[in-house]
Amino acid sequence: DSGVTQTPKHLITATGQRVTLRCSPRSGDLSVYWYQQSLDQGLQFLIQYYNGEERAKGNILERFSAQQFPDLHSELNLSSLELGDSALYFCASRRSLNTEAFFGQGTRLTVV
Amino acid sequence: GQQLNQSPQSMFIQEGEDVSMNCTSSSIFNTWLWYKQDPGEGPVLLIALYKAGELTSNGRLTAQFGITRKDSFLNISASIPSDVGIYFCAGQGGQSSGGSNYKLTFGKGTLLTVNP
């Protein structure tokens, strides 16, 4: 158990819908990363927050947004869902730049 | 965006054999990390490397941070069936992160199959 909690574990939804994925980082970790993993693309970096502020952005679509709350949990919002958004979404947390990133077990999103 | 070139894409080996995989980048990184992912699970950190030239071991695993800071390798000795999974390298910081020291960039993974 990495200490990073992601909910829900599985999500099935229809095209055009909006979903929210939640991540609770390890206790004491200020930094949260979001990644998308599909079969042919590996782990694609989406966005990173540190203590509530956005610090780095990857190839995140405009239909996707995220935030980190004062209690340090983070949410990834995916809207106007398309079939191609079906993937595993991982959250990772770390204490600082010189420490390791620990991953949650992921949310498997299926868009039908 | 920045990509890491990880090779090989897949490997099929016999139990007891040694395995080697590597990652290269056109730009430098300040940190190299190696993760393993089992089916349906999140990646789990195996080894972290923070200094160029650093050689670090974790049981049967050995990894090195290349002296040029543009590459890293992972060796697994005396493989066992539970070594099966996907191994990812990841780099952080340096020129490749577009000015951000925070972004972790992953390779596409090496799928390891171990035949008992």
Strands B110-115 and A102-103: unpaired
Secondary structure (H, E, C), B60-106: CEEEEECCCCCEEEEEECCCCHHHCEEEEEEEECCHHHCCCCCCEEE
Query: If you average pLDDT over every residue of chain A, what do you get?
Result: 93
Cis link prior to A8 (omega < 30° from 0)?
yes
* Amino acid (1-letter code) at residue A80: S
In this structure, are residues A4 and A93 in contact, taking their beta carbons and an 8 Å threshold?
yes
Nearest by CB to B48, which of A31, A45, A100?
Answer: A100
Q: What residues of chain A lie within 8 A of the CB of B105, using their CB?
A: 45
Binned at pLDDT 50, 70 and 90, residue B99 comes out as very low
Tens of pLDDT along A44-95?
999 999 999 998 888 899 999 999 999 999 999 999 999 999 999 999 999 8
| Of the partner residues B31, B42, B100, the one whose CB lies closest to the CB of residue A104 | B42
Q: What is the pLDDT of residues B51-78, one digit of tens each?
A: 999 999 999 999 999 999 999 999 999 9
Instruction: Tell me the average pLDDT across A22-49.
Output: 91
Distance CA A103, CA A26 (A): 10
Do the chains contact at B42 and A103, CB–CB below 8 Å?
yes
pLDDT of residue A42: 81
User: Nearest residue on chain A to B97, judged by CA atoms?
Assistant: A56
Nearest to A50 among B92, B97, B102 (CB): B102
Rounded-to-5 percentages of helix, strand, coil across chain B: 5, 50, 45
Nearest residue to A72 via CA among A94, A51, A95: A51
